[in-house]
Structure 1
């Protein structure tokens, strides 16, 4: 199959990726039980053959099992065709989940990811969540060492505030910031996106389909199993979904006029945010992957963009995106370096 997904420069440090990536979390974690390994390997390789080269995972997905899955899918001739992005910082192995960014943990996490992925260098390594106990300069200092040692190529942050991004970028240039950005999650537009653009940092948009809501609307809750974490997210609770369903209805009307699906329209909206934005919709089905790639062909006029944005704004969506926002960019400030005392 010929490649149909164009390439883009992600950030200003030299990384090139497909203009749409693939988020792999749901294959192993969070959205129900893990999917059959053979099916997911076929899906990943189908994505590569379709021109998708940026694959996004994390050591916490599973934990660990999603990285192992990608390692199996992308060995023996597949590795050189892709850019692998993984993350560290959420330690959910043990009695309680904790956020860590201390140097010893950064190094140990990187070594673990390299082993599970079966590679000797990670293309893009993100701090998944910011450790508010450790100055960001200290975490970045260790990441810089890993770059110098050839264990990672490029550095990113996920769910970081504008000030955290600036402080990190001053230690070593960031290639990408990963953030939740979709038609129904737009609060990053005020400060974080402009900061990334000022500094030449690429933007990777996760959950660009609103965790499935912008694909299926309110009926998506009917498919949730007891393992699906979305049940705890406020936006999916019945009292909020009753309100939010009107958003999907209006998006669906516009999509019908455009001759595309609601998911394609929502994904096209993210693509139209700029050439520095790479959305990474996740899926576990080949037909959905093909549909997501089709969103690249949906062209929106400035009038259509304005209409979508008038229908769906931060103020028209009911419910927070997480049950707790404590581990998001809104609460990601770290202490100054002068207060750091290495243990």
Structure 2
């Protein structure tokens, strides 16, 4: 199947128009016309080989929202015309304990990334969603509620589930105090979900000008992190803190905010390892953990939750020829809050 999109032909080069072949429909596959594709910061890291050697040519994109155009002979989950989404991975071994538990993102043999990865045959280069069409196994796609804006849905397939999963795992809800470090593409989704789940939610940000946005999205409190005194006032106050920031930072001031048995969950991925203040961990039996996206079933649960609560990402829609500028603006945090590509313009 011929597909038109944008690709990086070699590391750190600008994205350019690119025509390529997707696999022909298998019995269990669905084909979709891509409506919108989100720009994730991880797209930039991989296109520039900041996370290690990458595979080129690379069509990035793992926040894909579209409409089914064809189904394979064995497909039962979707029909032509359905609105569906595809996220960070498109296959897994399906046999290990993680996969059987619905945690395909933690597949013991390794999940198959939507791009910058080979398919399970070890030969076919997977290409992502910056394109007009996509083909995926029905088991790795999810239904999009009809009442949600498709452009705002696209980032939910990565940014959304990345925050929803830890909030659910650590049981955020009424009676719990949750902190969100950073109010960017990830953080604003964490705020929306935490508030909708009923938790008392505090946003920690170095940008005072984001307070109004935070309050409008459901924050109960907004703390400017440039002032250490403001942080110290909240010592031993939080059940759960989610760190969405990928920059190098000192975790100690935030660990001190956790109450007995509180947990700091790392979501942003810094280039350098964190230094951990062990005495602060021991003092209140605090924990540091990590979380990575979510499984297919949980992603569907998240989208259903979004449909019920009318939650979508805050986005700026751009045309394909603006992708390179959008990358630079993403790096400089000049976006409210995610860029989404109008994939209909790839034709």
TM above 0.5? no
Tell me the TM-score normalised to structure 2 length.
0.27
Structure scoring higher RCO (CA < 8 A, sep ≥ 6) equals 1
Give the structure with the higher percent strand: 2
Tell me the TM-score normalised to structure 1 length.
0.28
Which structure: larger Rg? 2
Give the structure with the higher percent helix: 1
